[in-house]
């Protein structure tokens, strides 16, 4: 591939896509800016037109990932339809689906060591998925009297941790590698047990 200079069509996005491919195969810290430039078909010097260093490039990969993730979560929640409980379960499945479909973005977001507060733009993007889940938790708990209602932020964090754990342990390996149960089933049953324990859904739901 012939290397190009500053007149590459969409240099910034070409570098992001190159970095995502490298992240998928080598991990978020397993490549250099020179490798990203080579993969994108541009000279190493051209990279610095948009990124000061590798972490800035990974941060942009993460920002775009969080934007996609926020869209996926909002679509899954679907305004709480057909019911808050069903929509809540859909967000968990969406988490698993996102990790599978966008592994490079996922690793940039959660495995690179890049703080989501690195830039205001990254912080704003990273907050969207969390806000969807927290809203879902708030809706799911509204039938409980306020004095007995668990804080939505608290059990939203618990659900996020459970979802992330299932993804890490069971959702990114070949089926049957670690457990005979499908990741979706593990997550759904785990969330169901947790929500029943909090009194958020009746025992027979």
pTM of the model: 0.88
pLDDT at 202: 64
Residue 147 DSSP symbol: G
CA atoms within 13 A on the CB side of 50: 24
What beta strand segments (E) does 11-112 contain?
A: none
Neighbours of 178 (CB within 10 A): 11
pLDDT: which is higher, 86 or 176: 86
Per-residue model confidence as pLDDT tens digits over 61-117: 999 999 999 999 999 999 999 998 899 999 999 999 999 999 999 999 999 999 999
User: What tokens were used for 146?
Assistant: 């306020």
CATH homologous superfamily of domain 1-51? Answer: Homeodomain-like (1.10.10.60)
pLDDT at 175: 64
pLDDT at 22: 97
Are the C-beta atoms of 170 and 178 separated by less than 8 Å? Answer: yes
Are the C-beta atoms of 183 and 171 separated by less than 8 Å? Answer: yes
Confidence band for 118, pLDDT divided at 50, 70 and 90 = very high
CATH homologous superfamily of domain 54-197? Answer: Tetracycline Repressor, domain 2 (1.10.357.10)
- Per DSSP, the three-state class of 115 is coil
CA atoms within 13 A on the CB side of 205: 18
Confidence band for 30, pLDDT divided at 50, 70 and 90 = very high
Mean pLDDT, the chain, integer:
89
How far is the C-alpha of 43 from the C-alpha of 68, rounded, in Å? 29
Per-residue model confidence as pLDDT tens digits over 37-56: 999 998 888 888 889 999 99
- Residue 127 burial by Cβ neighbours in a 10 Å radius (0-12, 13-18, 19+): middle
Q: Helix 11-26 to helix 33-40 angle, to the nearest 10 degrees?
A: 120
For residues 158-170, average pLDDT: 92
pLDDT at 204: 60
pLDDT at residue 120 is higher than 80: yes
Q: Judge whether 1-51 and 54-197 match in fold.
A: no
- Domain residue extents for the chain: 1-51, 54-197
* 176 Ramachandran zone, left/alpha/beta (phi>0; psi -120 to 50): left
pLDDT at residue 6 is higher than 70: no
């Amino acid at each position: 591939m012939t290397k190009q200079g500053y007149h590459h069509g969409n240099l910034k996005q070409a570098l992001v896509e190159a970095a995502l491919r490298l992240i998928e195969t080598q991990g978020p810290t397993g490549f250099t800016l020179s490798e990203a430039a080579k993969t994108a078909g541009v000279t190493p010097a051209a990279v610095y037109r948009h990124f000061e260093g590798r972490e800035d490039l990974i941060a942009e990969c993460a920002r775009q990932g969080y934007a996609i993730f926020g869209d996926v979560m909002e679509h899954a929640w679907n305004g709480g339809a057909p019911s808050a409980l069903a929509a809540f379960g859909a967000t968990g499945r969406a988490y698993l689906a996102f990790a599978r479909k966008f592994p490079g973005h996922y690793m940039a977001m959660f495995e690179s060591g890049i703080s989501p507060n690195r830039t205001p733009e990254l912080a704003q993007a990273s907050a969207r998925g969390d806000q969807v889940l927290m809203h879902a938790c708030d809706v799911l708990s509204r039938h409980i009297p306020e004095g007995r209602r668990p804080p939505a932020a608290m059990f939203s964090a618990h659900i996020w941790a459970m979802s992330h754990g299932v993804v890490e342990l069971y959702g990114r390996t070949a089926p049957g590698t670690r457990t005979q149960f499908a990741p979706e089933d593990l997550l759904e049953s785990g969330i169901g047990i947790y929500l029943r324990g909090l009194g958020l859904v009746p025992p027979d739901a």
